[in-house]
Structure 1
Amino acid sequence: MPKILPIDTPPLGDRSYLVHDGRVAFVVDPQRDIDRVLALADAEGVTITHVFETHIHNDYVTGGFALARRTGAAYHVNADDPVSFERVPVRDGDVVAVGAVMRLRVRHTPGHTFTHLSYVLEEHSRPVAVFSGGSLLFGSVGRPDLLGTEHTETLVHRQYASANGLAADLPDGTALYPTHGFGSFCAATQSEAVTSTIGQEKRTNPALTTPERQFVEDLLAGLDAWPAYYAHMAPANTAGPDEPDLTPPQRADAEQVRRRVAAGEWVVDLRNRVAFAAGHVAGTLNFGLDGSFATYLGWLIPWGTPLTLLGETPRQVADAQRELIRIGIDRPAAHAVGDPAGWAVDGRLDSFPRATFTDLAQVRHHRPVTVLDVRRNLEHAAGHLDNVVHIPLHELPHRLGEVPDDEVWVHCAAGYRAAVAASILDAAGRRVVAVDDEFPNAAEAGLPVTPGARQDTGAGHR
């Protein structure tokens, strides 16, 4: 049996795979930072000879093109994908030999995209694994709406057919290796599973246990917004992305930080929300590295806006750069590290309070305050505090005028998005309190909560 090594990218909720027979290897859906793949191949003592893409990705910039060029590997992409580079075109039914015993049989599995492919790994003509990309996932499927609402109805039915086709044609013991489904917004729903087989999915996956009409209705009802930066991923991937430059950007002193804030550029503090609330440079925004940093920064930033990163250490800045290149934000304009007081011209820092839902309940007994819920629409519909202003975080920068001009207590599901929103409000000169608490604690604190009929099953509840 070939050795299958997942390469996890938890911030984006994706997996790539390196598979080898002890001598040669192939890679499926590599992320942009290919140094991780090369290091793993080197540690395993194998040579990468083939790279496979399951689809033109919507949630990250691929490293496949750069990896193939670096290693000389054959780069396999669907023959019908409109790419602008040379590749080895593959179609449904093709069989690609890798080494002496590994064979990959190409399956057309449309649904996540029209040209989506899965790859069935065969050993001695026997299926042993399937790399399903954004088709059949652990307990779910890839969402069918990322190509636009005009295609969603068609793609959701094709996704159902693709998932059931894999299940019908592959032995129950076939191991399942999807690319999405570990927190990615490309997944229709999320699962806690870390491994699975075709047989297990037949027992538990709604795509395989539910009549098609019900499956379609349930899946479409559970879809919510996806990150705005997705719109830039397919064009980047069809153009053939180069290797990223991960060298440090130029250093920014306090005066440069001030000028960049004043110019309307984005100056982002990478520290955790507790540290940011306690003291930060006026006008800076907080996207902590301890949460879904790249997802929410990429979602909110006006594309192409110059970006300066502020971190406690050079490692924080380097980690942020690595996350950002995966979504196509390649070169920050500048960076600074060290004591936050050194990032301010006069050494003075702004701050705002943090609180719990218990604190909010007590305050509401004494005086009126505005409560802002920045969760997504389905989360809000599933249950929300009474008498709140609801603006999803990704809409907040464009809807600040809808937030009353008084003290604002902002909350989400667990604190991360509330901290981002609080920093946006603070930078706009609003009086803000960040509720750093789990939403279920609101009812326990005695706050009136209106229940909803359904629960959001999307990614990124923080």
Structure 2
Amino acid sequence: MFFIDTLDLTGLGNRSYLVGGGRTAVAVDPPRDVERVLTAAARRGVRISHVAETHLHNDHVTGGPELARITGAAYLIPADARISFAHTPVRDGDRMSVDPADVAAGLTLRAVATPGHTPHHTAYVLEDAGTAVAVFTGGSLLIGTVGRPDLVEPRLTEGLARAQHASAHRLATELPDGTAVLPTHGFGSFCSAGQAGGTATTIGRERADNAALTRDVDTFVAGLLAGLDDIPAYYTHMGPANAAGPAPVDLTPPAAADAEEIAARLAAGEWVVDLRSRVAFAAGHVPGSYNFEAEGQLAAYLAWLIPWGKPVTLLAESAEQLAAAQRELVRVGIDRPAAAATGEPSGWVREGEAPGSFPRAVFADLADLADLTDLADLAGRLGRAGVVVLDVRRGSERAMGFVEGSVHIPLHTVRRRLGEIPPGEVWVHCAGGMRAAIAASLLDAAGRTVVAVDDAYANAGKAGLRVRDARG
């Protein structure tokens, strides 16, 4: 008998796995906060004998070296990855016993070279008594898509895209249809070349639905390359950190900051990040602070937007929210907040000062603001009313449709493109509200009058606003 435990890392859109038998187990692509893996192993009553990486990660800092050090496990890394610390190199065809103490169990991991997401990418096939039952595909074959091929080196992108096609076909050819496909990326991760559908799949299902397996290589590559979007800025720092060997994490509480220190840090140009909900932030916040919801994709978006290495002070409604945020942030290399405070805005602003605020709205409110008897000149009408509609979605999202007359500046470029936003009251929207809240906080801190549209983009047309396809 064997087990597979899935550890969801929802903030990054990734998964890690613990697979084992009766006595020992293997951790696949573990997160940097290794306590989660250790807890899962303790719950199963197994010892971690191996830690396996499918590739040198570009989107997060791995917990592999620390987990291997704590447990004494062998640290498996694809042989062609350039790693500067001790590890066990893995090559195509290598087999590792998952539970060597229980020979009768017959559980093994077989390494399968699957270049594409990276040149050295390796998948691991779980075999039970010689039969493939699952494959840990990392960033190669995902649910309905594949991992991005453009995160290593621009000049390698097309070649890696072709390799992704070949790797997907190799897995589909060698493995039975019933083999469970267990990817690391594809659950909201920016490492995914497309949006995954569902949470579980098999080789047979992918053979029928995945573009890498249903299209010829030239058609597949052309579509893959055309759909690639911007790469998060912090990815530049993840690969080198993983190649050098990440340091152990320190999750002890940061130094407490009072109102005077918060003000001083803002005055020094440091980032003060409010982790509370966008509803609470809009109602009251420290002027100059930014809103990155703890319940959203905190790590991915904060790491993408913040100048790398900039000190950050965290404001949270509770110690529990603060601790959870710290755990999220170490996964992307934001290791130690400069300071932190818990409570509410009234305790974070200096005596005699008042919290800031801005209104929230829905698309129907924007429609009411315009004279909808003639939508041909919505931008002009809103402009004459002193209103700017700002769309902060990514380019691939806008290509699917946009509010006519809106200004498009993707969220990750807003701070450096503030001067491009026309004068007036800025109504900022995204696809659902979270990114609009971040952008609204950036604009509010810059002194702009802002309204955060906290609504699903699908409601724009329903409200009566003219929505058009960017390609039409």
- Per the normalisation by structure 1, the TM-score is 0.96
- Following TM superposition, by how much is the alpha carbon of 1:414 offset from its aligned partner in structure 2, in angstroms? 0.8
Contact 2:146 2:193 in 1 (8 A): yes
- Post-superposition Cα deviations, 1:286-331, rounded to whole Å, max 9, x if no partner, equal 0011211111111100000000000010111111101100000000
Distance 1:409 1:418 in 2: 9
Matches within 5 A, 1:2-401: 2-98=2-98, 99=100, 100=103, 101-346=106-351, 347-365=353-371, 367-401=385-419
Contact 2:30 2:63 in 1 (8 A): yes
Distance 2:249 2:152 in 1: 26
- Say which SS state the counterpart of residue 152 (structure 2) adopts: coil
Distance 2:150 2:59 in 1: 13
Instruction: Tell me which residue corresponds to 2:378.
Output: none
Q: Which runs of 5+ in 1 are unaligned?
A: 455-462
- Say which SS state the counterpart of residue 214 (structure 1) adopts: helix
Poorly superposed stretches of 4+, deviation over 4 Å = none
Distance 2:198 2:405 in 1: 37
Q: Which runs of 5+ in 2 are unaligned?
A: 372-380
Distance 1:87 1:378 in 2: 39
Distance 1:429 1:54 in 2: 46
- Following TM superposition, by how much is the alpha carbon of 1:385 offset from its aligned partner in structure 2, in angstroms? 1.1
Write the letter of the residue equivalent to 1:220.
Answer: L
Distance 2:110 2:50 in 1: 14
| Deviates most, 365-374 or 258-267 | 365-374
Distance 1:152 1:54 in 2: 19
Instruction: Tell me which residue corresponds to 1:413.
Output: 431
- Say which SS state the counterpart of residue 414 (structure 2) adopts: helix
Instruction: Tell me which residue corresponds to 1:439.
Output: 457
Write the letter of the residue equivalent to 1:115.
Answer: H
Distance 2:393 2:205 in 1: 33
Distance 1:404 1:200 in 2: 48
- Which structure has more relative contact order (CA 8 Å, sep 6+)? It is 1
- Post-superposition Cα deviations, 1:168-189, rounded to whole Å, max 9, x if no partner, equal 0111121111111111111111
- Say which SS state the counterpart of residue 141 (structure 1) adopts: coil
Distance 2:195 2:390 in 1: 26
- Following TM superposition, by how much is the alpha carbon of 1:17 offset from its aligned partner in structure 2, in angstroms? 0.6
Distance 1:207 1:320 in 2: 36
Distance 1:112 1:225 in 2: 16
| Deviates most, 414-423 or 368-377 | 368-377
- Say which SS state the counterpart of residue 80 (structure 1) adopts: coil
Distance 1:430 1:244 in 2: 38
Quick check: 1:422 aligned with 2:440?
Answer: yes
Write the letter of the residue equivalent to 2:24.
Answer: V
- Say which SS state the counterpart of residue 16 (structure 1) adopts: strand
| Deviates most, 111-120 or 441-450 | 441-450
Write the letter of the residue equivalent to 1:216.
Answer: V
- The root-mean-square deviation of aligned C-alpha atoms, in Å, is 1.2
